[in-house]
């Protein structure tokens, strides 16, 4: 094998090695917002700017704060927090963000979420996050007026607890997303596969009409990340290497 063939073969070997490991292509956390978390701000890397909107009466908004003030453990003291209260006011807040690029097959998006008390106010006091395809929300993870955490309305079986949860969404095909999460009481995990209509390309955080009187109802979020496998086109190098190698042996 001559020098040129060796170089191509080494490049192909490099692709094989990297193909088995996903690379971190987007990340952000609350410590990147020393100047404040506001509409249009864009900390970290690999995500679009935040679009933050409030509606209704009462009080609603967003902030960078310490989850331990709400009795939540396992999160950084600088995390993303939301508030929206009181009951019956219609108060709501949504913070939406696009991915730098839609997920591909094998890519994963992860998010840390911490809650303590439930949302109160029956089915109206809600908090959680959504994932979207285009401008359409396709996966909703939320808590309302009891201990239940649901994914698109189905209870995942988690009870009350104060430990931070990490939720991971992996695009396993053009029509399937695999979900995994740890329970907030430390007792177990959740996993499921959902049918979707395309590739995830953004997310939003939300809270609405939470029971008032305590910070313990406020949700916190942090450590947004996207891990991506090498682009399929890069794997074509393997075929090129094989062709060159076979030609050199002739």
Question: For each of the chain's 250 residues, which pLDDT tens digit applies?
Answer: 554 444 433 333 333 334 457 899 999 999 999 989 999 999 999 999 999 999 999 999 999 999 999 999 999 999 999 999 999 999 999 999 999 999 999 999 999 999 999 999 788 899 999 999 999 999 999 999 999 999 999 999 999 999 999 999 999 999 999 999 999 998 899 999 999 999 999 999 999 999 976 899 999 999 999 999 986 554 444 444 444 344 444 4
Q: Are residues 79 and 194 in the same domain?
A: yes
Q: What is the pLDDT of residue 231?
A: 67
Q: Are residues 157 and 212 in the same domain?
A: yes
DSSP state of 215: G
Number of domains in the chain: 2
The range of the structural domain enclosing residue 236 comes to: 1-22+232-250
d(CA 76, CA 30): 8
Q: Are residues 33 and 87 in the same domain?
A: yes
| H-helix or E-strand spanning residue 92 | strand 92-98
Alpha-carbon dihedral sign for residues 235, 239, 240, 242: positive
CATH label of the domain that carries residue 145: 2.60.120.200
**What's the whole-model pTM score?**
0.86
Q: Are residues 16 and 92 in the same domain?
A: no
Q: Are residues 61 and 10 in the same domain?
A: no
Give the list of residues 6+ apart from residue 30 with CB closer than 8 angstroms, or none: 37, 64, 76, 78, 79, 80, 222
CA distances from 73 to 66, 67, 79, 189 (A): 10, 7, 12, 17
d(CA 51, CA 38): 8
Give the list of residues 6+ apart from residue 244 with CB closer than 8 angstroms, or none: 4, 5, 8, 9
Q: Are residues 118 and 194 in the same domain?
A: yes
Q: Are residues 90 and 144 in the same domain?
A: yes
In 3-state terms, what secondary structure has residue 28?
A: strand
Q: Are residues 76 and 44 in the same domain?
A: yes
Q: Are residues 245 and 169 in the same domain?
A: no
Q: Are residues 42 and 120 in the same domain?
A: yes
Q: What is the pLDDT of residue 22?
A: 85
Q: Are residues 10 and 32 in the same domain?
A: no
Q: Are residues 194 and 218 in the same domain?
A: yes
């Amino acid at each position: 094998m001559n020098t040129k063939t060796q170089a191509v073969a080494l490049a192909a070997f490099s692709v094989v090695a990297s193909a088995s490991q996903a690379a971190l292509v987007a990340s952000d956390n609350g410590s990147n917002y020393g100047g404040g978390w506001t509409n249009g701000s864009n900390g970290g890397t690999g995500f679009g700017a935040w679009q933050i909107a409030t509606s209704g009466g009462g009080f609603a908004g967003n902030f960078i704060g310490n989850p331990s003030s709400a009795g939540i453990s396992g999160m950084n003291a600088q995390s993303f927090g939301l508030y929206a209260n009181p009951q019956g006011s219609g108060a709501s807040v949504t913070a939406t963000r696009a991915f730098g690029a839609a997920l591909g097959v094998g890519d994963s998006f992860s998010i840390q979420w911490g809650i303590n008390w439930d949302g109160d106010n029956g089915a109206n006091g809600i908090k959680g996050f959504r994932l979207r395809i285009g401008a359409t929300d396709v996966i909703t993870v939320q808590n309302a007026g009891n201990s239940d955490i649901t994914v698109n309305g189905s209870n995942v079986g988690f009870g009350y607890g104060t430990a931070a949860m990490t939720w991971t969404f992996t695009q396993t095909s053009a029509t399937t997303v695999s979900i995994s999460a740890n329970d907030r009481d430390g007792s177990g995990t959740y996993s499921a596969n959902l049918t979707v209509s395309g590739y995830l390309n953004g997310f939003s955080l939300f809270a609405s009409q939470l029971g008032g009187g305590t910070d313990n109802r406020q949700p916190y979020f942090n450590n947004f990340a996207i891990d991506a496998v090498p682009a399929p086109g890069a794997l074509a190098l393997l075929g090129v290497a094989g062709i060159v190698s076979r030609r050199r042996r002739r």
